[in-house]
Structure 1
Amino acid sequence: MSAPAAAAPAAALADARRALAAPDRLRRALLCAPAALAAVLAGCVTPPRRELPQAVAPFSTLRALDGLPPGWEELVMRRDLPRTDYRVVTLDGRRVLRASGHGASGLRCRLRVDPHAAPWLRWSWRTREVPLSMCVDRSETDDSPARVAVAFDGDEQRLSMRDRALYELVQLITGERLAYATLMYVWDGQLPVGATANYARTARIRYLVVESGSARAGRWLRYERDIVADFRRLFAEEPGPVNSVGVLTDADDLRLDLETWYGDIRMEPA
């Protein structure tokens, strides 16, 4: 290996550390799309190693209302931005998770699941409205009324030097490490169903549009996705274990009030 090639990883990490020392530049370089990075952290940070459940914690069986559901934790990327309000409520005769406001925070459920053993991700959601100005392929409009994110473990040695520098930077800022790869199912205001997009800072976070526009707002919609097939399509490799599932309703870029309800999210065998 040549001397310049050998020095490249160290130089990339040195650049990350220099960015950390310059708050204004860091904010522009990394957080210019805070909703997207909040989405990353809402479902996509590798949890510490411990005994983890093998199923997503449900909302439908809860007795208590008006609080965060057990098994889920709130994640806030920036304290200077408003938070999305998450709480368990009763709607249409069942317990669901309600997300409201124009914040940039999300919820995450840590777990450990082999996606090949339970490849089907099934969930439902309902949103009050879908502002058509929202579009995840532009950082200035990267808001969405509804997202479900699935985070995967993997071999970080396969990451590019640029991604390693980003992972180092986020770990320095937050104390946690980004997941190896993140697949995020999105309701978008503009992109058609089936469209894909990368998060602005790294292709290790990919958006897949499963609902588009406002025509079906106001009703319960149900989905099932083969996450193994989707992962292969978007990342061109086999998925590792799933380490968390997250939800995110965010509108901090466009400052629009949203209201969305999430039903239970399940990972099930074929």
Structure 2
Amino acid sequence: MPPQYPPIGESDRHPGARRALFGQLIGLGALGLGACAQRGAPLPQAGAVATPDALPDSIAPFSSATPGARPPAGWQPYVLRKDKPPTRYNVVRDNDRMVLHARAEAGATGLRCPVRIDPHQHSRLQFSWRVQQVPSLASVDVPEHDDAPARIILAFDGDPARLSLRDRLIFDQVELFTGQRLPFATLMYVWCAKLPPESVVRNHRSSRIHYLTVESGAQRAGRWLHYERDVVADYRRVYGEAPGMISSVGVLTDSDALKHEQQAWYGDIVLRRPGRT
């Protein structure tokens, strides 16, 4: 059974809980915030925002970045909680290629790459990662243990009028207190310690954020692992409909729930046309 939603007004009576809620929703649901660009809201720590038509139609590669770049060109930091230590990201050499290294020490900062990509034209998502360890308690289906050594996050556009009343209220509250508008839908590919591969979990606060487990347990920690996903098929499975435009791609290595150190390495993230390699 999915986690039950707490009363929507509960966070209003507890300012600390409210900050935590908005930090989690903004961070997990909006590591690109393409919807913010469309609505004209400022992106935190990112300077000027390009209009949707000016956004790139490909994901900035780590492999061509300068060693030590922090963040790499085309990527922007996204601070989930200012009261938490930041996850540190920088480009490092791994054998013969450049990759992104993430180190979290009780932190939860993400990186995002704003884009405008049609998933129906570029439906094949390819990515790779390596993690140092997988904490045994970390599990995205338990809010108190919601850490993941590695996450790839896709944000999608859509018609806000189609949101449920509950989600419209949550979206409005987040925008009121943060100035940021959550994406219409978010699909997050995660490495989870407990859930089996292909498990789908809804975020305990919003039905517009879903986790899809692609790696489980610690058996394959320490190795480079490569994945290819059909984004349209995954989105249809999770949301029961066709996806809108992809407005951002993000990465997140977090350890703020369990307060441990976590390291991960990410290779290039690519969205390709079907049939291309």
* TM-score normalised by L of structure 1: 0.88
Contact 2:36 2:182 in 1 (8 A): no
Amino acid at match of 2:83: D
Distance 1:180 1:211, change over 3 A: same
Q: Among residues 227, 231, 238, which one is paired with 2:242 in the alignment?
A: 238
Structure label with greater radius of gyration: 1
3-state SS of the aligned residue for 2:73?
coil
Contact kept, 8 Å, 1:33 with 1:139, in 2: the verdict is: no
Q: Structure 2: give runs of 5+ residues left out of the alignment.
A: 1-6, 39-50
Name the aligned partner's letter for residue 212 of structure 2. Answer: L
Aligned counterpart, 2:169: 165
Deviations 1:58-102 (A, max 9, x none): 000123424210110001122111110011111122100000022
Q: Does 1:46 align with 2:35?
A: yes
Partner of 2:46: none
Structure 1 position 175, deviation (Å): 1.1
Higher mean alpha-carbon deviation, 88-97 vs 205-214, is at 88-97
Partner of 2:215: 211
Matches within 5 A, 1:33-112: 37-44=26-33, 46-49=35-38, 50=51, 51-102=54-105, 103-112=107-116
Q: CA deviation at 1:29?
A: 4.9
Percent identity of equivalent pairs: 45
1:42/1:105 contact within 8 Å kept: no
Equivalents in 1 of 2:10, 2:191: separation in Å?
33
Q: Does the 8 A contact of 1:34 with 1:104 survive in 2?
A: no
Question: 1:208, 1:255 → 2: CA distance?
Answer: 23
Relative to structure 1, is the Cα distance of residues 262 and 67 closer, same or farther in structure 2, using a 3 angstrom cutoff?
Answer: same
Alignment partners' CA distance in 1, 2:33 and 2:218: 27
In the TM superposition, residue 176 of structure 1 has moved relative to its aligned partner by 1.5
Q: What is the correspondence of 1:137-176 to structure 2 with a 5 Å cutoff?
A: 137-176=141-180
Q: Which residue of 2 aligns with 1:121?
A: 125
Bigger mean CA offset, 56-65 vs 126-135: 56-65
Q: Give the 5 Å matches for 1:193-208.
A: 193-208=197-212
**Cα pair distance change 1:36/1:216, threshold 3 Å:** farther
Q: Distance in 2 between matches of 1:169 and 1:46?
A: 15
Distance 2:243 2:64 in 1: 30
Of 258, 261, 266, which residue of structure 2 is paired with 1:257? 261
For the structure 1 residues 133 and 215, does the alpha-carbon distance in structure 2 shift closer, same or farther, using more than 3 Å as the test? same
Task: Find 2:251's aligned residue among 247, 253, 257.
Answer: 247
Contact 2:26 2:182 in 1 (8 A): no
CA 1:83 to 1:173, structure 2 compared with 1: closer, same or farther past 3 Å? same
SS at match of 1:178: coil
Aligned 8 A contact 2:31 2:155 in 1: no
Unaligned runs of 5+ in 1: 1-14
C-alpha distance 228-154 of structure 1, shift in aligned 2 (>3 A): same
CA drift of 1:19 comes to 7.6
Deviation at 1:119, TM superposition (A): 0.4
Superposition CA RMSD, Å: 2.0
**TM-score, normalised via structure 2 length:** 0.86
* In structure 1, C-alpha distance between the alignment counterparts of 2:271 and 2:88, rounded to whole Å: 25
Once structures 1 and 2 are overlaid, which stretch shifts more, 30-39 or 191-200? Answer: 30-39
The separation in 2 between residues aligned to 1:190 and 1:19, in whole angstroms, is 29
Residue of structure 2 equivalent to 1:9 = none
Over 6 Å off, 4+ runs: none
Equivalent-residue separation in structure 1 for 2:130 and 2:238 (angstroms): 26
CA distance in 2, matches of 1:174, 1:123: 31
Return the offset for 1:45. Answer: 5.5
Indicate the larger mover: 33-42 or 171-180.
Answer: 33-42
